[in-house]
A and B are shown apart, each in its own frame.
Chain A
Amino acid sequence: MELTYEWTSAFAQSFGLIYLMVLSVGITVYAFWPSLGKRFDKAAKSILDDEDGPCQ
């Protein structure tokens, strides 16, 4: 297979589009999946409490 301009641009314009669409849908579903809410809340608070001291 020869690496021509036509092949490269066709690849970028087809596969590039598909993988971006799939990834953005996947990431959005992950970020807003209801049952993960608790985990995210815990992570957001984790830097504030526990052992880590106050930044004064």
Chain B
Amino acid sequence: MMNRLTTGERQAAMVLSGMVALAGFAMAIVGRGDPMGVHGWITLIFAGVLFFLVGNVLYGPEPTEDRSASYYDDPTKVGILLSLFWAVVGMGMGVWVAAQLAWPELRFDAAWSSFGRIRPVHTSGVIFGFGGNALIATSFHIMQRTSRARLAGHISPWFVLLGFNLFCIIAASGYLMGVTQSKEYAEPEWYADIWLVIVWVVYFVLYIRTLARRNEPHIYVANWYYLAFILVVAVLHIVNNLAVPASFGAAKSYSAFSGVQDAMTQWWYGHNAVAFFLTAGFLGMLYYFLPKRAERPIYSYRLSILSFWGIVFFYIWAGSHHLHYTAIPQWVQTLGMTFSVMLLVPSWASAGNALMTLNGAWHKVRDDATLRFMMVAAVFYGLSTFEGSFMAIRPVNSLSHYTDWTVGHVHAGAMGWVALITFGSIYAVVPVLWRKETMYSWKLVEWHFWLALAGTVIYVFAMWNSGITQGLMWRTYTESGSLAYSFTDTLVAMHPYYIARMIGGALFFAGAVIGAFNVVMTIRSAGHQAPQLDYPTGSEANEPAVPAAE
């Protein structure tokens, strides 16, 4: 894989990884005795391994391939595999966290395994590790295909992918050591945040440069969603993580905002992380892989433009619905509620557009589990956006907030929509990337599909029951006006649902393990097939034909 880089690129990669390794060493020294020092060592090892991997082939022969004749898919392939690795880690952690809620002794009395530490490993592991890697990998795939041009650069895609994974490792290992900013989905501390900004800016520049060399006049709608994902996540991440480190030799920092402003900033970030990390990028996947797999153009391209701008402009206002009945001004709560309800229009426009695309190809949905993954994802997208708009209405929120209903809603979105569209896209893209005739086993894809669907349905129903029970018990009063149930009473009532939730999660996890196995076996043993198509358009805008001449 490194053999496909020119000597100049290998040198650049060594300089970059060497610099990161040195930065890690500096962190290890100034942060000794603090978790920051451990992170320094992790960075040093991570970058050091890369340094020697590239250094190993530094004096190898120059690549002879014609770069203008193919897409650059090596980073995409690694990204898909990393995404599956994180899926297994993150979902496995999720099953453990769920089991701890039903049987607390499964903490085994260690500090690092307490609920508060392993829960963010689960959330960051699936959102950033699984989802983020899948987004980066598929965006590399889609930006090249829709532009019919090769990636702009051979080092920057690796920097984005591996730099992002270093961030994920630092985040997950930090949680286990108790490092956190106490902001949901923004837990990593200041140095990890700064690193992610650097990685993200390179990602944005790479995307724009690849689009700039496109051989297709129109920028396909999937790219718009990916660009919104990259750009807005950068803005959200920078603003929400504005903080002053307590010292440059330790992990602890203090937010630049205080009190109500801090809460508002956090949930402006938090809800738009759902919007732009967990929705916009995955809609990009949907708008590319679903028409592709169904071999039908999207039902209404005009509607896709309209729903894109609707999502971009409405979502950014909706965050305050997380803070109903708190100290933020009433009109801000009403604003967030109103925009959340309006969001139903562009959300259902996208879900409906996807389903209408399949209208006339239902026999394919029946026969092809990969397409079925995408179809069910679109259905869950429609369901969970409806539920989200409903739950954002203030009186509904008074029942649902702080209960398991919220957890159920998040998982209807994360499992039913995000994970299913990702798995569908992975099954669609793996044979194309590795030049295989088909997946190793279509039966395993079927198994994965039904396990994932059963797991999601069990999970979501368990949490609906649990959440509504919990919410009603909290607001039940006796005739004398005191609360009818103690907090412990609600826990006893929730216990069976917590077991059901763990079973649902375990089924979903089993499906992901089967999926990872199927992908690995496809790479190792499925029949090879060089496609006649799937090559970039030759033009002046492409790479020089003979890279060795550099």
Contact = CB atoms under 8 A, between A and B. Distances in A.
B52 interface: no
B429 A55 contact: yes
Contacts of B61: none
Contact of B291 (A30, A47, A54): A47
Q: Chain A: interface secondary structure?
A: helix
A35 to B, nearest CB: 13
Given A51-B148, A52-B145, A55-B429, A24 B533 contact: no
Interface string A28-51: 101110000101111111111011
A55 B432 contact: yes
Contacts of A55: 289, 292-293, 428-429, 431-432
Given A40-B302, A56-B438, A46 B146 contact: yes
A14 interface: no
B301 A51 contact: no
B439 to A, nearest CB: 9
Nearest to B439: A56
A16 B336 CA distance: 13
Interface string B115-158: 00000000000000000000000000000011010000000000
Nearest to A32: B302
B532 A46 contact: no
A35 B438 CA distance: 41
B33 interface: no
B317 to A, nearest CB: 8
Interface of B: 145-146, 148, 216, 218, 220-222, 288-289, 291-293, 295-298, 301-303, 305-306, 309-310, 313, 317, 329, 331, 335, 428-429, 431-432, 437-438, 531-537
Given A43-B301, A51-B537, 11 more contacts: A9-B329, A23-B313, A28-B306, A37-B302, A44-B298, A45-B297, A47-B292, A51-B533, A52-B145, A53-B531, A53-B533
15 contacts: A13-B331, A30-B305, A31-B303, A31-B305, A39-B218, A47-B297, A48-B295, A48-B296, A51-B148, A53-B534, A54-B295, A54-B531, A55-B289, A55-B292, A56-B431
Interface of A: 9, 12-13, 16, 20, 23-24, 27-28, 30-32, 37, 39-48, 50-56
7 interchain residue pairs of minimum CB distance: A53-B534, A53-B533, A53-B531, A44-B297, A40-B301, A44-B301, A43-B218
